[in-house]
Structure 1
Amino acid sequence: MSNQHVDTGKKDYVKGFILSLILTAIPFYFVAAQTLPAAATYAVMFGCALVQVFVHFAYFLHMETRTDEGRWNFVSLMFTAIVVLILIGGSIWIMWNLNVNMKM
């Protein structure tokens, strides 16, 4: 019974690794080949990065909301994300205000 769980875990890691490689190779190709306009290349890069974040959450960090432990992990992740966004946004706001107010 425990071997089945280990095999399923290995399969998930392999799937996540392959998806991560694909989601990394796609932007590298479009940047190196320069086949798309710059805006489209940025959109492809951002899209692949966003999908890759969810792949990492699902396959490597095992973020799931089906169990109590998974829900608390998700709540912790959201709290951390909100704090980081407040810190980054506040820092940018302060730097922008300093830049505007220092010009004479």
Structure 2
Amino acid sequence: MEQEAQEAEKNGRIRVIVQDNGPIHRCKEVQQLWSKWESQNLYIFFLPKYCSEMNPIELEWQHLKKDELSGQMFEDELDLAYAVMNGVKARGEKGQYSTERIKFNEHTSS
């Protein structure tokens, strides 16, 4: 979010982020940054609690489970992870939109 806020401030355009009510989005550390972000033109809005039908990713997960993963058994978490990645790719191809994997936490401690 810091990068989003900095970019919004730099280009002078308002940026809006819509999030669910997950604990990580509302923890004290994050709440303390809301005023700063707003002063940089970044505004955070939250979907209503327990309203998954308003969260597009929830609908996408529903389709992924029903259309791509239904009826499959997985040996372990790695097999499940690959099935999810392949399912996301297949849904993107069907819907003619691009998908891209983003790797988080690539930094390793020495």
TM-score, normalization by structure 1: 0.30
Q: Which has a greater percent of helix?
A: 1
**TM-score, scaled to structure 2:** 0.29
Radius of gyration: which is bigger?
1
